[in-house]
Structure 1
Amino acid sequence: MIEARNVKQEVISGGIWRRSHYLDRMTLKELWAAYFQYPAILAYIALSLISVAVWTEYPASAVRTVLAAGVIVGLYPAVWYALHRWVLHSNWMFKVPFLASTWKRIHYDHHQDPNHLEVLFGALHTTLPTIGIISIPVGYAIGGIGGAAAAFAAGLITTCVYEFVHCIQHLAYKPRLKIIAEMKKRHMAHHFHDERGNYGITSYFWDKKLGTFYDRAERPAKSPTVFNLGYTPEVAKRYPWVAELSGGVATGHPRKRDAA
């Protein structure tokens, strides 16, 4: 039996991150503590402060600064939707040997074990270039170096918010705010019922516009690929690279695998 948590983890050193964390076993207080000690989150915060320092050295006008940051915040749901639907849920990355490990790390492992906190957090070598490519040129076009710094900071802070909301959605915790509870409901359906929809995390605007928003009652049949994203044992025979990195191909519900 393949262990549900047989995943390639990033090297974490120091503090509470000397061991793995699973959101279905954590309290909200424990999540806060783990969140603000995670290396990627600390990196986002540090880079945000550096961006503020750059802005003070090369300031844009207040209007251009707010506009640069606002555009990035507004673009975020569309960018996330596109990446989540057409990259993370692609059926082409695992077919390319040098992309297989990236696809495994950035999303396959998360669907294999949705509550594994280290896997839930984005890997810096994939998130930072994406944030920079999207935010810096837009900000520079609006307000020069200062605008670029403001836009990059906005992208980093938005990513921090997204990461925390994503954690809450997997935490053994019922959100008090109705809007967060609704986000969690949709995301849980994405993970445990049908992965071919509800791609948003903090916003489902683009799901509604592009026809991928759904309620579980609208799709009575559970997707057979909700946990493996289409990377089945049969597919692995032809494209073995993810299976080789994972020690095989796990099948079935992650929680039931865990109890086996």
Structure 2
Amino acid sequence: MGCEAAPLRRRDALHSDRTKAATLKTAQSLRPAFWQRAHHLDKMTFRELVVAYFQYPAIIAYLTLSVVAIGAWIWRPAPLAPTLLAMAAASLVYPLIWYLLHRWVLHSRWMWKSKLLASTWKRIHYDHHQDPNHLEVLFGALHTTLPTIALGVIPLGWAIGMGWDAGDHHAPFGAAAAALAAGLLTTCFYEFVHCIQHLAYKPKSPWIAEMKRRHMAHHFHDENGNYGITTFFWDKVFGTFYDRPDRPVKSPTVFNLGYDEEVAKIYPWVANLSGGVATGHPRQRDRV
């Protein structure tokens, strides 16, 4: 009996040590200093991501504002049908808005040419491609994301409410509030899926695993395609969907989005803010 009990005690002790270590990591992540250091998703577990995700300031803001939007709907509700229609429309139009912005704004070559816009472009996407697994620059900046969400879905919800019943004066407001709540919650979903795509984690879902593979190609093989996050439908519509065998040659601008040393000589603002122009793979990088 003693010989049989010893392995069980060792196993229980090992399990206890692992539990204590996980609890300690969680407790440490809840401290204010948590965001004073960098976090890289390729070195994080799924559990660590979940803990970090729900305390990131932008995610807290999205969730808080979605509650406010739901409260606005309760205050001035629209009928159920336009409410559901507005929420569905906001969720469905979101991938198209994301595709258009990702392709023609985030991957643009005009923002770095403006001293006023260079810092915005650097923050919203250049930094992410420079270091794709860096959690802090993966999330969008609130001063750019919130206006975009509002402009993308509030007019849509308002129009649905206006067209539903002219006699219900609350319908436009309520439908717009519902659309905003849906847009904010969709943003949270997008951001979480985006994190998973960069996490050192093999998704069990074939759907998410396929999205991860496509998105990794966008970041580490050729940035000129696979712009979607949760769906690549619009990539297929606009002809930017690809498999790596379709493009055997790696893009030389996959990490710098075309902002190289020659460009920096003419438009130096991004380089000045970045401490130079980064070259090479994110894991083996020097500043020049």
TM range (shorter): over 0.9
Matched AA of 1:245: L
1:168 and 2:186 correspond:
no
1:196 and 2:233 correspond:
no
1:91 and 2:109 correspond:
yes
- The equivalent residue for 1:45 is 63
| CA distance in structure 2 between the partners assigned to 1:233 and 1:206 by the alignment | 33
| CA distance in structure 1 between the partners assigned to 2:144 and 2:116 by the alignment | 14
Matched AA of 2:117: L
| CA distance in structure 2 between the partners assigned to 1:251 and 1:20 by the alignment | 20
**TM-score, with structure 2 as normaliser:** 0.84
After TM superposition, the structure 1 = structure 2 runs for residues 222-241 of structure 1, keeping only pairs within 5 Å, are 222-241=250-269
| CA distance in structure 2 between the partners assigned to 1:15 and 1:67 by the alignment | 43
Matched AA of 2:72: V
SS in 1 for 2:279: coil
**TM-score, with structure 1 as normaliser:** 0.93
SS in 2 for 1:98: coil
1:21 and 2:49 correspond:
no
Matched AA of 1:27: T
Matched AA of 2:231: S
Superposed CA offset, 1:205-251 (max 9, x none): 01011110000011000000000000010000000000000010011
- The equivalent residue for 1:154 is 182
When the two chains are superposed, the root-mean-square deviation of aligned CA atoms in Å is 1.0
Q: 1:257 offset after TM fit, Å? A: 1.7
Matched AA of 2:242: Y
1:101 and 2:119 correspond:
yes
Q: 1:19 offset after TM fit, Å? A: 2.0
- The equivalent residue for 1:221 is 249
- The equivalent residue for 1:66 is 84
- The equivalent residue for 2:153 is 135
SS in 1 for 2:223: coil
Matched AA of 1:255: R
| CA distance in structure 1 between the partners assigned to 2:152 and 2:207 by the alignment | 27
Q: 1:14 offset after TM fit, Å? A: 2.5
Q: 1:15 offset after TM fit, Å? A: 5.5
1:114 and 2:132 correspond:
yes
Structure 1: where are the runs of 5+ without partners?
Answer: 1-12
| CA distance in structure 1 between the partners assigned to 2:265 and 2:285 by the alignment | 22
SS in 2 for 1:136: helix
SS in 2 for 1:198: coil
Please, which of 53, 67, 74 is the counterpart of residue 56 of structure 1?
74
Matched AA of 1:149: A
Q: 1:97 offset after TM fit, Å? A: 0.7
- Higher RCO structure (Cα 8 Å, ≥6 apart): 1
Q: 1:182 offset after TM fit, Å? A: 0.2
| CA distance in structure 2 between the partners assigned to 1:18 and 1:230 by the alignment | 30
Q: 1:131 offset after TM fit, Å? A: 0.3
Superposed CA offset, 1:12-33 (max 9, x none): x925223221101100000000
1:79 and 2:88 correspond:
no
Query: Do the aligned partners of residues 15 and 32 (structure 1) sit closer, same or farther apart at CA in structure 2, a change above 3 Å counting?
Result: farther
1:36 and 2:64 correspond:
no
- The equivalent residue for 1:211 is 239
| CA distance in structure 2 between the partners assigned to 1:27 and 1:16 by the alignment | 16
Matched AA of 1:167: C
- The equivalent residue for 1:184 is 212
- Of 48-57 and 13-22, deviating more is 13-22
| CA distance in structure 1 between the partners assigned to 2:218 and 2:242 by the alignment | 9
Please, which of 238, 242, 248 is the counterpart of residue 270 of structure 2?
242
- The equivalent residue for 1:10 is none
SS in 2 for 1:60: coil
Superposed CA offset, 1:53-98 (max 9, x none): 1000100000000000110111011100000000000010000110
